[in-house]
Amino acid sequence: MSGKITRRDAILKGTVLAGFAATGVHLIKKADGQIVWEIDGAKCINSKLGELTAEACDLCTVECVVTQSAVRAVNHHSECGRCYICPAYFKVTSAVDENGLPSEKLCPRDAIERKAIGWVDPEDPANNFYDYIIDEEKCDGCGKCVMECKEPAGLGSIRLEVRHNLCVGCNRCAISTVCPNDALSQLPATAVPEPEPAESESQT
C-alpha cells in the first residue's frame, strides 16, 4: 500500500481515464461557448400581452442574489409610442394636476426621465413626442412600468431584461426557481441578439 500501484489499480485507472475521455468528448461535442440567463419577454408576466393583474410581479427584484437586482427594465426606444401620457411613467389613476397630467409617477424609485423630443410645440404638449429614458442605476426591475406599457395602453416597448454585466450567472438562478411563468432560461450567449435589431427580438 506504500504508493505502489498494483496491476488491478493500473487497469482500473486506465478504465476510469478512458471513461473520462469518452464522457468528455461526448460533452464537448454538444458544448456551448458561453451561456447567459435570459428572460423570455413572451413568458414574463409583466410584459406578456393579455396578462393584466393588479400588481406587477416583482420576484426578479426580490429574489435576485445581487443586492440591486441584475434584472432591469429596458425601454426599447424604437418600439416606444412616445406617448404624451405614458402609463408607465405616470400613475394614471392619480389625481390630475393643473397641467392636466396625472400628479403622481408610477416608478417607486423615480427611475424614468421624461422629456419632449424632436420639434416641440410648447403650446400643444399633447402632440409632442416624448422620450422615456430609464436610469439603469436607479431601476431595480420591479416590473411596474413593464406591466403598464402594453396593449391597450402602451406598445410593450418596456421589458425586463437580465443585465449581463450585473448578473453573476448563478448556476441555479434564484429568480428562475420562483418565476411563475418559467420565463428565465440559460441560453448560449451567441443566441442573444445583437444590440441593433429590435424587431426580431420582439418576435421571440
Q: Is the CB of residue 50 less than 8 Å from the CB of residue 85?
A: no
Cis preceding-peptide flag for 152 (omega within 30 of 0): yes
Query: CA neighbours within 13 Å on the CB side: how many for 117?
Result: 13
Is the bond leading into 188 cis (omega within 30 degrees of zero)? no
Using CB under 8 A as the binding rule, whether residue 105 contacts another protein is answered as no
- Interaction between residue 92 and another protein (CB under 8 A): yes
Closest C-alpha among 52, 35, 49, 53 to residue 162? 35
* Pairing relationship of beta strands 158-162 and 112-117 according to DSSP bridges: unpaired
What is the size of the binding site for another protein (CB under 8 A)?
A: 80
Q: Which amino acid is at 152?
A: P
Q: Is 122 in the site for another protein (CB under 8 A)?
A: no
Of 117, 137, 200, 204, which one interacts with another protein (CB under 8 A)? 117
Of 49, 110, 113, 118, the one binding another protein by CB under 8 A = 118
CB of 46 to another protein, least distance (A): 17
Alpha-carbon Rg for the chain, nearest whole angstrom, is: 24
> Residue 188, interface with another protein (CB under 8 A)?
yes
Rounded Cα–Cα distance for residues 186 and 102 (Å): 40
**Does residue number 54 form part of the binding site for another protein (CB under 8 A)?**
no
Q: Pattern of binders to another protein over 124-163, x per CB under 8 A?
A: x-xx-x-x-x------------------xxxx-x-----x
Cell 411563468, located at residue: 181
Q: Smallest distance from the beta carbon of 47 to another protein, in angstroms?
A: 15
Q: Is 189 an interacting residue with respect to another protein (CB under 8 A)?
A: yes
**Can you say whether the dihedral through the CA atoms of 184, 190, 194, 199 is positive or negative?**
negative
49 binds another protein (CB under 8 A): no
Residue 112 CB, shortest distance to another protein, in Å, is 13
Q: Which of 50, 53, 55, 95 binds another protein (CB under 8 A)?
A: 95
Spatial contact of 59 and 182, defined as CB atoms under 8 Å apart: no
> Residues 7-46: x/- map of binding to another protein (CB under 8 A)?
--x--xx--xx--x--xx-xxx-xxxxxxx----------
182 touches another protein by CB under 8 A: yes
